[in-house]
């Protein structure tokens, strides 16, 4: 079962490996914390979350899409097969954007989501640094959205592929030519844009919530461009959790239950 799952998702492993090589060959930012502390946590949470949620729920998401043709809004039957696919991708990405804003706005949800923000550096491994509780919430939200809107199965596959790829890319600590970031950033979330979201300054943390398409932030008033020189000098992480111990797996799993639960303002 596990081997079969790995074979079906071999493209993910190959993609992550390629990004890791790119990051090692052309790093962009100086690291603050040691990889020997950060990486074991990220490389444990990634597979654990996959086994607990993504592996069992991804097929369920596709089954939900197939079983709920003609959902409440029935975009799969009312828009036509080809138009329903891009609309379905947009609907799912907008739902993820909305959930991300709630993760920051609701103190109880923020206490779980802050696991992701507690990393003191950004690199491709940060893309795996989510508490299992948040992973469950994200997948349940996706299932509800698929069933409610009647999102086609192909749209679910496209969205999952883009979301996984962009989540890894936007956290990477690799040099990207400025001209590429400028052009790509008009449509997609880029590493520089998402780095602002991981700033220790609350005014930046509560911005740039998008996962795939950057225009959600631009259109909905949550876009925060970096000030001149700020992009490379940002303090990453949470100021209340800067001790190295919070990067270890036991403290990371305990983070949602610690007393300091305030959400960014």
Taking 60 as the threshold, does the pLDDT of residue 246 lie above it? yes
Q: Where are the domains of the chain?
A: 34-257
CA 117 to CA 137: how far, in whole Å? 17
Distance CA 132, CA 40 (A): 16
pTM for the model: 0.88
pLDDT tens-digit readout, 113-167: 999 999 999 999 999 999 999 998 998 888 888 888 888 888 888 998 999 999 9
Cβ neighbourhood burial of 119 (10 Å; 0-12, 13-18, 19+): buried
Give the Å distances, CA to CA, from 170 to 7, 179, 193.
25, 16, 8
Residue 42 to residue 130: CA distance in whole angstroms: 8
Q: What three-state secondary structure class fits 188?
A: strand
Q: Which distant-in-sequence residues (6+ apart) come within 8 Å of 259 by Cβ?
A: none
């Amino acid at each position: 079962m596990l081997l079969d799952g790995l074979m079906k998702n071999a493209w993910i492993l190959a993609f992550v490996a390629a990004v890791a090589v790119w990051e090692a060959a052309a790093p962009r930012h100086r690291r603050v914390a040691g990889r020997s502390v950060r990486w074991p946590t990220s490389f444990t949470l990634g597979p654990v979350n996959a086994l607990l949620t993504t592996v069992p729920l991804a097929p369920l998401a596709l089954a939900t899409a197939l079983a709920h043709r003609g959902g409440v809004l029935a975009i799969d039957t009312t828009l036509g097969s080809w138009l329903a696919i891009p609309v379905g991708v947009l609907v799912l990405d907008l739902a993820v954007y909305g959930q991300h804003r709630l993760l920051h706005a609701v103190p109880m949800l923020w206490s779980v989501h802050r696991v992701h923000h507690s990393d003191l550096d950004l690199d491709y491994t940060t893309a795996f640094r989510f508490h299992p509780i948040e992973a469950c919430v994200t997948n349940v939200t996706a299932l509800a959205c698929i069933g409610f809107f009647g999102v086609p199965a192909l749209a679910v596959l496209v969205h999952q592929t883009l979301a996984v790829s962009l989540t890894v890319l936007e956290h990477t600590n690799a040099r990207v030519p400025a001209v590429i970031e400028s052009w790509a950033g008009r449509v997609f979330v880029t590493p520089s844009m998402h780095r602002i979201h991981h700033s220790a300054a609350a005014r930046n943390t509560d911005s740039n919530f998008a996962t795939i398409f950057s225009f959600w932030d631009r259109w909905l008033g949550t876009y925060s461009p970096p000030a001149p020189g700020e992009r490379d000098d940002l303090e990453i992480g949470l100021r209340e959790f800067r001790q190295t111990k919070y990067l270890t797996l036991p403290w990371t799993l305990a983070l949602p239950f610690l007393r300091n639960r305030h959400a960014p303002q």
